[in-house]
A and B are shown apart, each in its own frame.
Chain A
């Protein structure tokens, strides 16, 4: 780059470009760049600014070309490099960034001492580039160079040699961690993460410890908290607990951990880890006297005093078989799970079993002492502990007494110990029943009471307490009335947690009554909170969700799916009424979204979810299981609603889909948005993670480096990411618009954009061939390598986490309705606790296994579709292999087999049956293809005589597959007819089971089958022509196959048409009575004691019914598209 002579005039040219870019005026910026380049044609800075402008205006390829031109000249200007790196990073070209900085650093170094400082700064950037690429070995090498080159003072990059030393340590630890992970998973570490010459992770840890210890001895100090905590963690990872304890207790601990309370806690937990439970308890008590509300410390104290009562999630034992317990505390395992890679180290149980009566007495005495402390001298407890302003509410010791009672009951259960738990719960309720958190606090304790009598007793006690409070507040102030109401709400919640009143096996009436009771109480809240901001939580907001749950429980008790519908609609209406006043009640919105999803209203479901402003990380934790199921299950042309407070909820506006009719093929903007937003979360992070990681290095936040690395790995391995990649690819194959609005490159060209065109086998084949690129066969998800980030605790009690993958969630619910639709005792559900998706219990374990198998099945489908349509290529898994893998997944998974008994109504397919249909379909496709290949004349001049003896006949395989698929469609179709007839009594809204089954069959197997048949018919025609010319006659086998294919097409076409007819007539009937459906429903419900319903319910129910009609219409169109394709 030639030097600039007149800096000022150059600045005058460049400044406006920056301004234009800052104000997102890409066009203007590009124009200014063009002008500036005329004066400074060789200037790299202007060129890369132009590249930024191009990149931002969507011309990514051109931008990269410009950057490539610039870096070919090995620039060393920091700003040029930084801007070039921005463009490269946006395109995911991390390796190019690395080589760019390496070249720049080398070039600057070659220029001699004059550029030594710049060379050092650029080397710093080389380190950052390796950090971006997770190249732990190379980053360590660079850190060593940097450390050698910089003196004791702050270096050119603003970093001291000491900090570079820590970069080396952290780089080593990352290698040790990668090696440990590789060892435990049995898979080799990713390239560049462990040294080429294999070094045991233990050796690497020892090496890191040596470096840290030298640093500490040399300077008699450590850099600070972060360095200290890494040191402690490395000691722990090596099992050197005594050394860690000494470090914390010593002068280094004192200088690095500035908050005395934190240091005390760390000392306590290290003492426990070393087996000195008494010392741990002593330190904890010392801390608790200053902060008696510390729940983590209280629990650890009880664990130490009564180690025999620890409820381990996984029983662990040391080598001699003695029981151990592993102390839990957030202060250990701080470094992003370094020590997590190693087997847990626990403390052995004492000889007396750790649950002796005197130990219980001691624990109780200590808790009571702390309880008194909270009550009597809150002012002595420091700022934020009640020391200033209003006293802090400190419920810790009180709840710990409940915990203690439960421990006693667990160790030696008797009627007395159970009664003691009841008393403890009641006592806590007496003190804190007016707090919103009371029911949440007590949930797990109440859930542990399984004995019927104790539960009844507790429920009665709670009701009596609540009533007393209500009576006392009757004439008092509003504040007192609200408190009394909260008590009643809490009592109602806890009674529900206890599973009372018993609703199962008692028919819908009891459940409707229970719902009424909740809503009667809810109504009393209204006058007390008229001036409450609509965004705030109301005093009784838990109740409508509980009422809805009771009504869904009623839906679980009905003999048929059709009869369940009015109760589900009653639940939906109840929620809608409450949401009018309290539009952001998350539990209510989520319940409403689930109901809409079950009833074929994807736009309504999405609107509820978006109203809660679900975004970013919540695409993984929430949208994965709240939003993906409805948009994957149901066709919809509705536009995505705006998110957050601006969003209108269903019923507040006419459904947006009503304006335009559904398109054939069914491109779905809702689905496209959900998939694109979710992919963006993962793909953006994989691109951006390096930046914040490098920031952490620069700021000396070493524990965060380890934590961020673990986080990056966790997101890259997210089950949701695998699911959305598979579902995007499938949507692309089936021209449903999965990638239509996907940002960035990589969307298969021309796949989804032509979704309005009629389906054709050729289009599907081309789309599938493009789609398989994003779901490589070798990357098929596996249970052991996936991470499960779904926040299941947000799910309603009556909507357990599905095992079938999001696309079959509504169908699975309907197929096991009586088991799913149970709305009580949330705390007893395995998935009600935080992080339950990754918990160790057997239910979570089998849920993960099933989800992983489902994800793998979906991952392989694009390959199957491509293969079945005759597409081959290096990226397509051969059809035989793909089918074998589908079969293996089915054989190996714990998915229950289809019921063999013959129920009165045609049974809905379960996940296994549907996946079996895929296997049958693609096996048949394979058989037909193989037979076609062996037909003489298909290849290059195969010998005719061999053909006559071919024993192979794919006709029967094909016929079986077609029969199975059409059978499932016909079953759903006839079921739909019966359900519609039954539904007349309440306005005709249909249950979602048979509909979801049809939706799945039409979208996937029937469409693919139709496309295959079309392809085969074309091939057969050509072959028959060839043979007619060549041999002068028809081959019998060829004829037989042609006949089988024709028969299959006929059968499929007929089945699709029949479905289309039913759906169209149902749609027509529904459209005819659209105005009266809500009235009919409300009348029906009122006769059964439900309601009354208000305007919110009416509007929402009308919108829901309307949307179901749109779904029927879309499905009817899908059916006619299949029929057209088949015939």
Chain B
């Protein structure tokens, strides 16, 4: 029971039932506004009955050549609305936008190595652990860079896992 619509600035005033969840990061304003100013099509809010925020996804398209890809910056579902496949729906839409609007080769995301719930969820959605980024998060926690190939990557080159971990400063973007 979801109205999917573009994320707006005013949602920042009403998203607490999602963001009070400790696994959901509250970013500073320039962060959200930069995403909205550059990739509004990638920023979507799922709204439930009574205009309750149920969850949202923020993403972008970046990279060059065969590394042109969609990136999931944040996807989160409020604790009240979990176990209804809402995250899957949000991810599917981001993938659809990456494929049909931006013609990307793959979609990727970063996740805390300790967040096994999320990692398993992404696995179910078809993502694989492409590589480890050491000390990516504050508090020195490692990240998994997970990827899912899109139809444009015919040879599925983007999802051949790297054996060696890399450091945050060696990331191609950010």
Contacts and interface: CB of A to CB of B under 8 A. Distances in A.
Interface of A: 225-226, 258, 293-298, 330-331, 334, 383-386, 388-396, 399, 435-437, 440-441, 443-444, 533, 535-537, 541, 584, 586, 612-618, 620-622, 644-645, 681, 684-685, 688-689, 691-693, 695-696, 699, 701, 703-704, 707-708, 710-711, 714, 789, 791, 793-794, 833-835
A384 B12 contact: no
Contacts of B125: 389
A294 B2 contact: yes
A80 to B, nearest CB: 24
10 contacts: A384-B96, A389-B124, A390-B124, A399-B1, A681-B29, A695-B38, A793-B16, A794-B16, A834-B52, A835-B51
A296 B27 CA distance: 28
Interface in B6-29: 6, 8-10, 12-14, 16-17, 19-23, 26-29
B113 to A, nearest CB: 14
Interface in B46-84: 47-54, 79-84
B119 to A, nearest CB: 12
A539 to B, nearest CB: 11
A436 B6 CA distance: 25
Contacts, number: 181
B85 A392 contact: yes
B36 interface: yes
Contact of A440 (B3, B5, B52): B52
Interface stretch (B86-94, B103-111, B148-156): B86-94
Given A535-B23, A645-B22, A618 B16 contact: yes
Given A295-B3, A436-B83, A684-B29, A701 B14 contact: no
Given A436-B83, A692-B33, A617 B48 contact: no
B84 A435 contact: yes
B1 A394 contact: yes
Nearest to B125: A389
Given A392-B85, A437-B48, A791 B13 contact: yes
Nearest to B116: A533
Interface of B: 1-6, 8-10, 12-14, 16-17, 19-23, 26-30, 33-34, 36-38, 40-41, 47-54, 79-86, 88-93, 95-96, 100-101, 117, 124-125
Contacts of B91: 384
B38 to A, nearest CB: 5
A298 B1 CA distance: 9
A436 B79 contact: yes
B93 A704 contact: no
Nearest to B33: A692
**Closest 10 interchain pairs by CB?**
A384-B92, A296-B3, A586-B20, A692-B33, A711-B9, A537-B79, A384-B89, A584-B22, A696-B37, A396-B1
A621 B16 CA distance: 8
B83 A297 contact: no
B17 A616 contact: no
B60 to A, nearest CB: 11
Contact of A441 (B21, B48, B96): B48
Nearest to B48: A295
Given A297-B3, A444-B50, A622-B16, A616 B27 contact: yes
Given A621-B16, A701-B40, A383 B96 contact: yes
A789 B5 contact: no
Contacts of A835: 13-14, 51
A685 B29 contact: yes
Given A616-B27, A618-B16, A441 B49 contact: yes
Contacts of B54: 437
Contact of A695 (B17, B23, B34): B34
B13 A295 contact: no
A714 B89 CA distance: 32
B77 to A, nearest CB: 10
Contact of A616 (B29, B37, B40): B29
A48 to B, nearest CB: 22
A225 B101 CA distance: 12
Contacts of B29: 616-617, 681, 684-685, 688
Given A383-B92, A704-B36, A834 B22 contact: no
A295 B1 contact: yes
Contacts of B8: 707
A436 B50 contact: no
B26 A330 contact: no
A701 B36 contact: yes
A296 B21 contact: no
B87 to A, nearest CB: 10
A584 B20 CA distance: 9
A292 B154 CA distance: 33
A327 B13 CA distance: 23
A703 B37 CA distance: 9
A707 B9 contact: yes
Contacts of A226: 40
Given A389-B125, A644-B22, A437 B84 contact: yes
B20 A612 contact: yes
A63 B50 CA distance: 51
A620 B36 CA distance: 21
Nearest to A691: B30
A708 B20 CA distance: 24
A692 B80 contact: no
Contact of B37 (A586, A617, A692): A692
Nearest to B19: A618
A388 B124 CA distance: 10
Contact of A834 (B51, B89, B90): B51
Nearest to A395: B1
Given A295-B3, A331-B5, A708-B37, A392 B89 contact: yes
A399 B83 contact: no
Contacts of B53: 834
A399 B92 CA distance: 24
A1045 to B, nearest CB: 50
User: Which residue among B16, B21, B54 has the maximum number of chain A CB atoms within 10 Å of its CB?
Assistant: B16
A78 B135 CA distance: 36
B2 A295 contact: yes
B49 A399 contact: yes
Given A436-B79, A701-B40, A789-B13, A612 B22 contact: yes
A1095 B170 CA distance: 47
A215 to B, nearest CB: 21
Contacts of B84: 392-393, 395, 435, 437
A701 B37 contact: yes
Nearest to A436: B80
A1071 to B, nearest CB: 36
B33 to A, nearest CB: 4
Contacts of A793: 16-17
A669 B136 CA distance: 32
Contacts of B36: 692, 696, 701, 704, 707-708
A920 B43 CA distance: 54
A390 B83 CA distance: 10
B26 A616 contact: yes
B143 to A, nearest CB: 17
A839 to B, nearest CB: 11
B9 A435 contact: no
Contacts of A794: 16-17, 20
Contact of B85 (A390, A620, A685, A714): A390
A242 B14 CA distance: 33
A471 to B, nearest CB: 23
Contacts of A536: 23, 79, 117
A536 B78 CA distance: 11
Contacts of B33: 689, 692, 708, 711
Nearest to B100: A258
User: Which residue among A615, A622, A692 has the maximum number of chain B CB atoms within 10 Å of its CB?
Assistant: A692
Given A293-B2, A440-B48, A696-B37, 11 more contacts: A293-B1, A296-B3, A298-B1, A390-B85, A391-B85, A537-B79, A541-B79, A695-B38, A703-B40, A791-B14, A834-B53
A1091 B101 CA distance: 59
